[in-house]
Amino acid sequence: MTIQTKDNKKVFLKRLQPCDFDKLTEFLQHLQPETTRRFGPHGFDKQTITELFENDGAHIGYIALDAETLEVIAYSIIKIGFLEHDASRLCTYGLTLDAKTDCTFAPSVADKWQSLGVGNSLFQFALYDLKAHSIKKVILWGGVQCCNTRAVNYYLKNGFKIMGQFQYNGENFDMVLDIEG
């Protein structure tokens, strides 16, 4: 799928495939500290990426590519189900967790491409795909720092609701999107 950014650049959106692993590794390794302080669901080396996406079938990646250079400029990871170590906290909000119809989500956009609409478009692209896989609920991967205003706005804009707050390196929100709601 092709989209246009707010500053009129052409971007391709696609599901991550093995042929993209090198480009994705490069993208992750060039993220600025400002972004890696907020996004770190897994290691940024090629071996980790290969293990996550090639071997266990429980993860789906989505990427955005600059149509001019074909470099990866945004990436989102989806884990089917929920994170075991977050489960008890999530249940305190009255959520019923389901390993088959829940998924857990973490997004990142390259620093110079942020706030241009790429994050929104990549999430909507992923959502369309996830609905086709009978996913009913999207949970944030480890929540979001309350002070990360851009990300909190981004989740609210995409229909996520704040379920509760917890402390881990500062204050964080747990946010969930109910796809059926």
Ligand X SMILES: CC(C)(COP(=O)(O)OP(=O)(O)OC[C@H]1O[C@@H](n2cnc3c(N)ncnc32)[C@H](O)[C@@H]1OP(=O)(O)O)[C@@H](O)C(=O)NCCC(=O)NCCS
Q: Nearest distance from residue 77's CB to ligand X, in Å?
A: 11
Q: Give the contact letters, 78-117, x = binds to ligand X (CB under 6 A), - = no.
A: -----------------------------xxx----xxxx
- The secondary structure element, H or E, covering residue 28 is helix 21-29
Q: For ligand X, how many residues bind (rule: CB under 6 A)?
A: 21
If we measure between CA atoms, which residue out of 68, 60, 61, 76 comes closest to residue 12? 68
User: Shortest distance, CB of residue 101 to ligand X, whole angstroms?
Assistant: 22
Nearer to ligand X, 25 or 148 (CB): 148
Q: Is 161 in the site for ligand X (CB under 6 A)?
A: no
Tell me if 25 contacts ligand X by CB under 6 A: no
- Residue 115 to residue 92: CA distance in whole angstroms: 33
Contacts of 38 (CB under 8 A, 6+ apart): 144, 145, 148, 151
1 vs 100, beta carbon nearer ligand X: 1
Q: Which residues have CB under 8 Å from 36's CB, separation 6+?
A: none
